[in-house]
């Protein structure tokens, strides 16, 4: 069991124009800009958005560096720890190199010996909710070998791989694991192999290789998010387009500056996360 519990508290997104992307997040999810700064370790300017109780960091390259090399898209998964110093020491004991700036740790994929996962670590902070999303809880990592990477991921972060949940989908053409950080919370990395190269995810994997693919959040106001998507991104979302309860929908990368964001109704993700009894009735 982990002595430094984790949760998904943010994502980092490499973008061309922070102001344009921030406006899109505000239009669709009622996010708010909470600060702007520069991250020397990544050689980029940063705009930080409050999105639910999570944060989204918009990174705009300021010259040569990892953000510029990444292009546009999901750059890093962000985890928060109740004891960041203990987690730092645990990772250092495994020879994981990292850059430190402010109150965050930045870890490149090579340092983790990972299959395409870049991570930013932050101290746990309680935040008031902002906007329509409740919070982020998942980042998806496409990999060639989910079993091997899950075992290594568990060792790196002091997790119990025995509580990881098998996930598979013939519709989307993948299989893998949900690396649940805690048995009673949704926070996790979805580590999956897209085996069907005829599907969208499989084509993306064939082009990019091991990489981050998308993020997921939950909301008790998904109906309102759908209405905003209809107005502000009519061609860049998918989900039920009638008046039925919205259990889930997707905001496409064009709508949010380069990242696919899945949104599930509050607690509904337990349907496929090992505890369907935790799903609360709609409405």
Number of structural domains the chain divides into: 2
Instruction: With cut-offs at 50, 70 and 90, classify the pLDDT of residue 1.
Output: very low
Q: Compute the distance between CA of residue 113 and CA of residue 91 in angstroms, rounded to an integer.
A: 12
pLDDT higher than threshold 60 for residue 89: yes
283 is a domain residue? no
Q: Compute the distance between CA of residue 11 and CA of residue 78 in angstroms, rounded to an integer.
A: 5
85 is a domain residue? yes
Three-state DSSP state, 261: strand
Q: Which of 123, 147, 178 is the last residue of a domain?
A: 123
**137-188 tens-digit pLDDT:** 999 999 999 999 999 999 999 999 999 999 999 999 999 999 999 989 999 9
CATH number at residue 268: 3.10.180.10
pLDDT higher than threshold 50 for residue 125: yes
Q: Compute the distance between CA of residue 160 and CA of residue 150 in angstroms, rounded to an integer.
A: 10
> How confident is the model at residue 3, as a pLDDT?
56
128 is a domain residue? no
Considering the domain architecture, whether residues 139 and 96 belong to the same structural domain is answered as no
Share of residues in the chain with pLDDT > 90 (%): 95
| Domain assignment of residue 35, given as a range | 6-123
Tell me how many degrees the CA angle 142-278-244 measures, rounded to the nearest 5.
Answer: 80
> How confident is the model at residue 242, as a pLDDT?
80
**197-243 tens-digit pLDDT:** 999 999 999 999 999 999 999 999 999 999 999 999 999 999 998 87
Considering the domain architecture, whether residues 94 and 12 belong to the same structural domain is answered as yes
Mean pLDDT of the chain: 96
pLDDT higher than threshold 70 for residue 276: yes
In the chain, alpha helices (H): 18-29, 66-70, 84-92, 109-112, 146-157, 200-208, 222-232, 253-256
Considering the domain architecture, whether residues 169 and 209 belong to the same structural domain is answered as yes
Considering the domain architecture, whether residues 197 and 235 belong to the same structural domain is answered as yes
227 is a domain residue? yes
Return the closest-CA partner of residue 144 out of 180, 116, 108, 107.
116
pLDDT higher than threshold 60 for residue 83: yes
């Amino acid at each position: 069991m982990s002595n430094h519990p984790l949760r998904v508290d943010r994502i980092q997104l490499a973008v061309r124009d922070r102001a344009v992307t921030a406006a899109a997040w505000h239009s669709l999810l009622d996010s708010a800009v909470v600060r702007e700064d520069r991250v020397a370790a990544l050689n980029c300017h940063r705009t930080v958005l409050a999105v639910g109780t999570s944060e989204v960091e918009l990174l705009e390259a300021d010259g040569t560096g990892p953000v510029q090399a990444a292009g546009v898209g999901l750059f890093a998964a962000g985890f928060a720890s109740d004891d960041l110093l203990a987690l730092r020491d645990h990772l250092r004991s495994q020879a994981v190199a990292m850059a430190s700036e402010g109150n965050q740790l930045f870890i490149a994929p090579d340092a983790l010996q990972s299959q395409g996962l870049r991570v930013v670590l932050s101290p746990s902070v309680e935040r008031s909710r902002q906007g329509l999303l409740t919070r982020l809880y998942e980042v998806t990592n496409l990999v060639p070998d989910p079993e091997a990477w899950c075992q290594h991921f568990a060792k790196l972060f002091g997790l119990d791989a025995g509580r990881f949940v098998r996930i598979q989908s013939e519709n989307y053409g993948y299989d893998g694991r949900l690396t649940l950080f805690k048995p009673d919370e949704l926070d996790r990395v979805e580590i999956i192999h897209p085996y069907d190269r005829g599907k969208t995810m499989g084509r993306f994997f064939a082009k990019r290789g091991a990489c981050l693919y998308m993020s997921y959040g939950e909301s008790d106001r998904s109906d309102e998010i759908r209405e905003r998507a209809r107005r502000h991104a009519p061609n860049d979302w998918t989900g039920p387009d009638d008046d039925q309860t919205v259990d889930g929908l997707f905001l496409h990368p064009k709508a949010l500056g380069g990242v696919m964001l899945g949104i599930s109704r509050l607690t509904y993700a337990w349907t496929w996360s090992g505890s369907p009894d935790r799903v609360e009735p709609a409405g």
